[in-house]
Structure 1
Amino acid sequence: MDENNVSELENAVLMEYTQIAQTMKRFNHVCKELSQNPNEQLLLQLRHLEQKMGLVLTLYKASVWSVIMDEQQQ
């Protein structure tokens, strides 16, 4: 097998890495733009989402605690 040739699987993996690298570059660019020019509407939406995530995490912890307590009682 020639060193310059890669298998289909290797090629697929390399393509995935290329796509991830491009996505990360775009993500980095968007983050820089947002940090330099904050979007107040987006910040409000993210704060609202953060509050909801806190509630979801609290409910999740409570349900896990409930399952653990039920198993201990049995």
Structure 2
Amino acid sequence: MASSSIQMENPYASNPAFSSLESQVLWEYAKLSKHLKTLKNLKNQPLQPHEQLLATLRNLEKQMGLVLTLYKASVWATIVDTEQEMNADREEEASRRYQQGLQEDGMSEGDRTVQEGDEFRPWGI
């Protein structure tokens, strides 16, 4: 696909390997790459302030800031999800051990009542 049409049409939208969000992100990266290549090509031109160049640089700066913010948010979300999964696994394991301890004592959860002066004895230890 021609690089000039990358600004108008998402070349990744029809690829079944990518979700809608993934194709949107890839498209934004492609547009960002095109802007960076344009800036690289401008280094050979004489240094004159161009309004279009300044506008492009401002737009590029905003896009790069947005990419960084989205990246940080996705890393944070991954960390939080992993933490939640680990906590759920720990709680499940603790519950399983508790139930196993009750079964070893021959009790169900409702059979055990705490009396004043009882020691705390997890899992019948």
TM-score normalised by length of structure 1 = 0.49
Compare the two structures and name the one with the higher helix fraction.
1
Q: Mark the structure with the bigger radius of gyration.
A: 2
Q: Which has the higher contact order (CA 8 A, sep 6+)?
A: 2
TM-score normalised by length of structure 2 = 0.32
